[in-house]
Amino acid sequence: MIEFGSRARRLPAPPHVVWESLVHPHQPGARPWLVLLDDEVEPRVLSSHKPTTVVWSSLWPSRPRDEVHLEISDAQAETLLRFTLRTPDDPPDPSKAGHIRRRVNHLLFADLRFSYGQ
């Protein structure tokens, strides 16, 4: 697998809560956060190990074999979440790679973060 992007940031929720949000993004009573654009599809959970890892399928039909690997670790009453974008194919061109990195960054470190109230 080729890696074409990665970023880590803290989220203001404990690891088990973040794991649940990533595995079940539309839980009843939770604030909506996984709001997709017209060119995106809902990711499927390909694998997960509670509460440390989740692997999503691609959100982009034009790149169906890409994966979003999510690593969750405890960060003193918060969570350190790292996403890594991987593909078994050729990496996307720089423009598409930048778009994918920007969107995953926004979904996780803006929308998901704000769903926790901060």
* Average pLDDT of the residues in 103-117: 96
Domain over 2-115 is classified CATH 3.30.530.20:
yes
Domain locations along the chain? 2-115
pLDDT > 70? residue 115: yes
Specify the pLDDT at position 29. Answer: 84
Whether the Cβ atoms of residue 83 and residue 70 lie closer than 8 Å to each other:
yes
* Average pLDDT of the residues in 62-79: 95
- pTM for the model: 0.95
Sorting pLDDT into bands at 50, 70 and 90, what band is 117?
confident
CA distance 35 to 42: 9
Specify the pLDDT at position 44. Answer: 98
For the chain, what is the mean pLDDT?
A: 96
Residue with tokens 């989740």: 54
Question: Tens digit of pLDDT for each residue in 23-55?
Answer: 999 998 888 999 999 999 999 999 999 999 999
CA distance 22 to 68: 11
Specify the pLDDT at position 76. Answer: 86
| Per-position b or e across 57-72, b if 16+ CB within 10 A of its CB | bbbbeebeebbbbbeb
Specify the pLDDT at position 11. Answer: 97
